[in-house]
Amino acid sequence: MKKVYAVDVRSEAIRKANKEVLGAHFAMGSAIDLPFKNEIFDKVILFEVIEHIPIKGERTALSEANRILKPGGFLVISVPKTVF
């Protein structure tokens, strides 16, 4: 059985998501302090997240993602396209 979990730092976003999205589980937290046990997810997806993490917090976020991934799990990261 597949389950979807999502994390947000804003309580109002969690309340709204719980009302509007059926079948997913929402939790308060951040990418640098994920509220999950070690090695429980097959996939961790960080869509448009890394660019919002405080400077020098990126390594912590990646370590947290790795911590909650099962061995052999997949980490998917997306960042906005930047044109220089």
The one-letter amino acid at 58: E
For residue 84, the model assigns a pLDDT of: 59
Domain residues of the chain, as ranges?
Answer: 4-78
- Residue 83: its pLDDT value, please? 62
Closest CA to 64 of 75, 52, 80, 79: 75
Mean per-residue pLDDT of the chain = 93
Whole-angstrom Cα distance, residue 76 to residue 45?
Answer: 5
**What is the structure's pLDDT at 55?**
87
CATH code of 4-78, in short, is 3.40.50.150
* pLDDT for res 57: 93
**What is the pLDDT, as a whole number, of residue 43?**
97
Strands 4-8 and 41-47, by their bridges, are unpaired
Average pLDDT over residues 27-56: 94
pLDDT of residue 42: 97
